[in-house]
């Protein structure tokens, strides 16, 4: 039987194969907050073909691939499906951008990005597999096991 946990949508974006437990962080990264007026459905810990996953569906909004690449940090296996008139018309895998700006808070308390200066955090990608990033300002390389707690 096909997955029936969350209804198909007519138009919009489905972010599928999100690492289980990370759906709310995905919404946070996309800047979707309380009071947003899009229709959003979230499924967590759904059984997929390759194990459990979370799913986020955003109706009537097509996210572009740049926008969703940020998601790769916390959901490296996610797929972005663009839906038009109930059909999947595009499917992309997320990929890690070369620079990660304004998403990860630097774990170094003395970093200039944690001071009162209005400077956005910025990390350079040092390696992709496994993912390693380095603060552009102070050189700190965060522990990637804890990356979720550093998402701004």
Q: Which residues lie near ligand CTP (CB under 6 A)?
A: 3, 8-9, 14, 16, 55, 57, 79, 81, 83, 86, 88, 91
Compute the least distance from the CB of residue 106 to ligand CTP, in Å. 34
Which of 83, 129, 82, 138 has the alpha carbon at shortest distance from 105? 138
Compute the least distance from the CB of residue 109 to Zn ion, in Å. 9
Compute the least distance from the CB of residue 73 to Zn ion, in Å. 16
* Interacting positions 87-116 with Zn ion (CB under 5 A): 106, 108, 111
Which of 115, 104, 116, 110 has the alpha carbon at shortest distance from 147? 104
Provide φ and ψ at 147, rounded to 5°: -55, -35
For residue 99, give the 3-state DSSP assignment: strand
Quote the CA–CA distance of 79 and 16 in Å, as a whole number.
Answer: 5
Answer with the entry of Zn ion, ligand CTP, none that 138 interacts with (C-beta below 5 to 8 A by kind).
Zn ion
Q: Which residues pair with 100 in a beta bridge?
A: 123
* Binding residues for Zn ion (CB under 5 A): 106, 108, 111, 135, 137-138, 140
């Amino acid at each position: 039987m096909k997955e029936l946990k969350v209804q198909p949508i007519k138009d919009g974006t489905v972010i599928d194969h999100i690492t289980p437990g990370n759906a709310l962080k995905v919404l946070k990264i996309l800047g979707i907050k309380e009071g947003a007026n899009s229709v959003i459905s979230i499924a967590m810990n759904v059984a997929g073909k390759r194990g459990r996953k979370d799913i986020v569906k955003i109706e009537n909004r097509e996210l572009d691939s740049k926008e969703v690449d940020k998601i790769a940090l916390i959901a490296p296996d996610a797929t972005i499906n663009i839906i038009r008139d109930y059909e999947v018309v595009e499917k992309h895998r997320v990929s890690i951008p070369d620079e990660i700006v304004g998403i990860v808070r630097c774990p170094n308390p003395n970093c200039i990005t944690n001071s009162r200066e209005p400077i956005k955090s910025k990390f350079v990608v040092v390696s992709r597999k496994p993912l390693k990033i380095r603060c552009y300002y102070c050189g700190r390389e965060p522990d990637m096991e804890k990356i979720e707690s550093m998402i701004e």
